[in-house]
């Protein structure tokens, strides 16, 4: 059962507030937290007293660092049933937020990765602060950028989403606002003012954010955009590696060195995921694709090994298998992406 303190759901001055309150785990999501948020969102959807929804977190350590990776790995070591049940609910929450009929605001004040991205990217207003650190680091643990990454990342400017997904690069607010990952920048000490003004005008959070936003500063990524566009535009990871090596600049070689530390299987899964997601017609179709992938990838050697190396033992020396890109065959990718039996496919909430 969920502790009452893990998610605080209440209505205040016309705003449905969802506050993540699991600070010791950096507010990492578990299934009960997803259920609590779904329950509140469904209750507020047709409630005329609720004009908009605000997602934030307690404390200052981070917005949401992801999902319950240890549980997912332990489940994946068996039949993955618990992991798939978590993915099912988490993705239903992501889709509910994506299609929500009322404005949703996410105060992304601090670390936002994985599952935290999944509950903030669907929001209409996404506010970053000087404490924001954004990343989708899944290729470093043998996973892939799920929770809608296949939809959101390829829709960022140029090839920046592919670069972010493959390298797991960490961005601060100047870059996230510049790229459109987040819609506004507010200093963290202005968030209380935002909440107060929103309470007076709960139906128009974007107007409140527009009135308070300040300049996040020069985006460090901007000078590298032409290189990202040129070097990450290929449909095969091997071609990206070759382009980076041929380029030979310090920046390109740094990206190549980073990529060589990632799971070769995850790199290929992720690139196909993003190229496929870019062509899909609906967010629901993307989530169905990611659900197929999730239930299978968590049972692979690389995910189990990545979690061991990064999360459990913390030696940061995963032994990937296959150890290089040449060992990851198209037939294995086809298997991971294949449709499920009709009665096992993911579906959004009715």
Q: Note the pLDDT tens digit of each residue in 192-224.
A: 999 999 999 999 999 999 999 999 999 999 999
Please check the confidence at residue 161 and state whether its pLDDT lies above 80: yes
Provide mean pLDDT across the span 110-134: 97
Residue 132 has pLDDT above 80, yes or no: yes
Tokens coding 296: 């299978």
Does domain 7-344 sit in CATH 3.40.120.10? no
pLDDT of amino acid 5: 84
The rounded percent of the chain whose pLDDT value lies above 90 is 94
More confident residue, 275 or 25: 275
115 is catalytic: yes
Q: Which of 129, 171, 128 is nearest to 153 (CA)?
A: 171
With cut-offs at 50, 70 and 90, classify the pLDDT of residue 60: confident
Task: Give the tokens for residue 233.
Answer: 């535009």
> In 3D, which of 86, 225, 57 has the Cα closest to residue 147?
86
Is the separation of the CB atoms in 55 and 110 below 8 Å?
A: no
Asked if the model's pLDDT at residue 136 lies above 90, the reply is yes
User: Distance between CA 84 and CA 73 in Å, rounded?
Assistant: 11
Q: pLDDT tens across 268-312, in order?
A: 999 999 999 999 999 999 999 999 999 999 999 999 999 999 999
pTM score, two decimals? 0.96
Confidence of residue 24 (pLDDT cuts 50, 70, 90): confident
What torsion, rounded to 10 degrees, do the Cα atoms 25, 27, 29, 31 define? 80
Q: What is the mean pLDDT of residues 235-252?
A: 98
What average pLDDT does range 74-86 have in this prediction? 95
Residue 2: band (very low, low, confident or very high) from pLDDT cuts 50, 70, 90: very low
Identify the pLDDT of residue 68.
Answer: 87
Q: Can 229 be counted among the known catalytic residues?
A: no
Cα distance between residue 92 and residue 184, in whole Å: 26
pLDDT mean over 173-184: 98
Look up residue 222 and give its DSSP letter: G
- Catalytic residue status for 138: yes
> What residue ranges do the domains of the chain occupy?
7-344
pLDDT beyond 70 at 4: no
* pLDDT surpasses 50 at 3: no
pLDDT in tens, 99-115: 999 999 999 999 999 99
Burial of 23 (0-12, 13-18, 19+ CB in 10 A): middle
DSSP state of 140: G
Please pick, among 67, 148, 161, 295, the residue that the annotation labels catalytic: 67
3-state secondary structure of 51: coil
**Cα radius of gyration (the chain):** 20
Q: Which helix (H) or strand (E) holds 227?
A: helix 225-231
Measure the CA–CA gap between 58 and 30, rounded to whole angstroms.
16
**CA distance linking residue 298 with residue 275, whole number of Å:** 21
Q: What average pLDDT does the chain have?
A: 96
Q: What distance in Å separates the CA atoms of residue 275 and residue 153, rounded to the nearest whole number?
A: 10
Q: What is the mean pLDDT of residues 87-91?
A: 98
At 330, list the tokens. Answer: 């198209």
Length of the chain: 350
- d(CA 12, CA 244) in angstroms, rounded, equals 51
- Name the pLDDT band for 350 (thresholds 50, 70, 90): confident
- Asked if residues 265 and 197 have their Cβ atoms less than 8 Å apart, the reply is no
Please tell me which residue in 68, 138, 175, 305 is annotated as part of the active site: 138
Single out the catalytic residue among 56, 68, 121, 146. Answer: 146
Report the pLDDT value the prediction gives residue 213, as an integer from 0 to 100.
97
How many CA atoms are closer than 13 Å to the CA of 29, on its beta-carbon side? 31
Helix (H) or strand (E) holding 1: none
Burial of 16 per CB tally in 10 Å (0-12, 13-18, 19+): buried
With a cut of 50, say whether residue 87 has pLDDT above it: yes
| Strand-pair category, 52-57 with 104-108 | parallel
Catalytic site residue 67?
yes
Average pLDDT over residues 25-43: 95
Catalytic residue among 110, 114, 115, 306: 115
**Residue 1: predicted pLDDT:** 40
Distance from C-alpha of 262 to C-alpha of 137, rounded to nearest angstrom? 10
Give the pLDDT confidence score for residue 168 in this predicted structure: 98
Do 171 and 111 contact (CB within 8 A), yes or no? Answer: no
């Amino acid at each position: 059962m969920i502790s009452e303190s893990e998610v605080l759901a209440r209505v205040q001055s016309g705003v449905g507030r969802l506050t993540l309150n699991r600070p010791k785990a950096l507010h990492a999501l578990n299934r009960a937290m997803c259920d609590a948020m779904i329950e509140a969102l469904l209750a507020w959807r047709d409630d005329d007293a609720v004009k908009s929804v605000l997602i934030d977190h307690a404390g200052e350590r981070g917005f949401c660092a992801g999902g319950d990776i240890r549980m997912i790995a332990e489940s994946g070591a068996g039949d993955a049933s618990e992991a798939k049940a978590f993915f099912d609910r988490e993705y239903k929450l992501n889709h509910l937020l994506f299609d929500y009929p009322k404005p949703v605001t996410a105060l992304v004040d601090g670390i936002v990765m994985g599952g935290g991205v999944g509950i903030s990217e669907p929001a209409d207003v996404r506010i970053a602060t000087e404490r924001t650190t954004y990343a989708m680091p899944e290729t470093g643990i043998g996973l892939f950028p799920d929770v809608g990454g296949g939809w959101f990342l390829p829709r960022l400017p140029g090839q920046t989403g592919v670069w972010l997904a493959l390298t797991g690069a960490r961005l601060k607010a100047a870059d996230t606002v510049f790229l459109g990952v987040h819609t506004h920048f507010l200093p963290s000490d202005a968030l209380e003012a935002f909440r107060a003004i929103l309470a007076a005008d709960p139906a128009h959070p974007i107007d409140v954010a527009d009135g308070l936003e300040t300049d996040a500063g020069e985006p460090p990524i901007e000078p590298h955009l032409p290189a990202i566009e040129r070097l990450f535009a290929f449909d095969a990871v091997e071609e990206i590696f070759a382009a980076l090596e041929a380029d030979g600049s310090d920046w390109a070689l740094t990206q190549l060195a980073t990529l060589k530390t990632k799971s070769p299987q995850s790199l290929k899964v992720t690139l196909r995921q993003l190229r496929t997601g870019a062509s899909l017609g609906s967010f629901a179709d993307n989530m169905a694709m990611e659900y197929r992938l999730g239930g299978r990838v968590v049972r692979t050697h690389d995910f189990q090994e990545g979690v061991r190396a990064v999360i459990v033992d913390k030696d940061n020396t995963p032994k990937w298998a296959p150890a290089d890109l040449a060992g990851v065959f198209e037939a294995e990718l086809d298997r991971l992406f294949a449709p499920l039996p009709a009665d096992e496919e993911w579906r959004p909430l009715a």
